[in-house]
Amino acid sequence: MSEATHTNPRTKAKPAIPGPAASAFEFPKFEVPNFEMPKLEIPAAFREFAEKGASQAKETYEKMKAAAEEATDVLEDTYSNAAKGAADYGLKLIEATRVNTNAAFDFYTELMTVKSYSDMIELSTAHARKQFEAVTAQTKDLAALAQKMATETAEPIKDSVSKAFSKVA
């Protein structure tokens, strides 16, 4: 009688079962039959169709990749222009605030030196007129800057869309 050892990589080796029961657990040995696959000839028309489809898919992929890269560049330019414009607008707004604050402090300083009620009215009227003109000019500057920022931000997108439609047409 032969002793077979059973080993499992996950468990420790177990001693073989002695006696006639050991042969009951052996797997029968058999050979896998060798089937020969028939050699099929792919028709030339089908091969040509498949190659043409693959070629068109590759061309379409290249066009889509180029369009995506172009769109990315446009978005980067747009973001850059918008960020620069917003920074310029913020700086202009801070400058206007500084000028207006200084004008207010100058007015209050002059107001403390007034000797009569009529001098106070004259000083107040002059200050109000000067501030109205300054705020009007500041508003025009800010509006022009906002318009420039909007135009510079939208221009790359407009050009990109025009190019895309011209390619499609």
pLDDT tens-digit readout, 105-147: 999 999 999 999 999 999 999 999 999 999 999 999 999 999 9
Q: The pTM is what?
A: 0.57
What confidence score (pLDDT) does residue 1 get? 47
Is 35 a member of any domain? no
Is 13 a member of any domain? no
Is 132 a member of any domain? yes
| Number of domains the chain contains | 1
Is 122 a member of any domain? yes
DSSP calls for 21-62: GGGGGSPPP-PPP-PPPPPPPPPHHHHHHHHHHHHHHHHHHH
Is 1 a member of any domain? no
Separation of alpha carbons 112 and 119, rounded Å: 11
Is 42 a member of any domain? no
Give the range of the structural domain holding residue 110, as residue numbers without chain letter.
Answer: 64-164
Instruction: Say if CB 141 and CB 92 are below 8 A apart.
Output: yes
Is 36 a member of any domain? no
Instruction: Say if CB 85 and CB 149 are below 8 A apart.
Output: yes
* 89 vs 23, more confident: 89
User: What is the share, in percent, of the chain residues with pLDDT greater than 90?
Assistant: 40
Instruction: Say if CB 101 and CB 138 are below 8 A apart.
Output: no
The chain-wide mean pLDDT, for the chain, equals 82
pLDDT tens-digit readout, 2-39: 444 545 555 555 555 555 555 566 777 777 777 777 77
Is 97 a member of any domain? yes
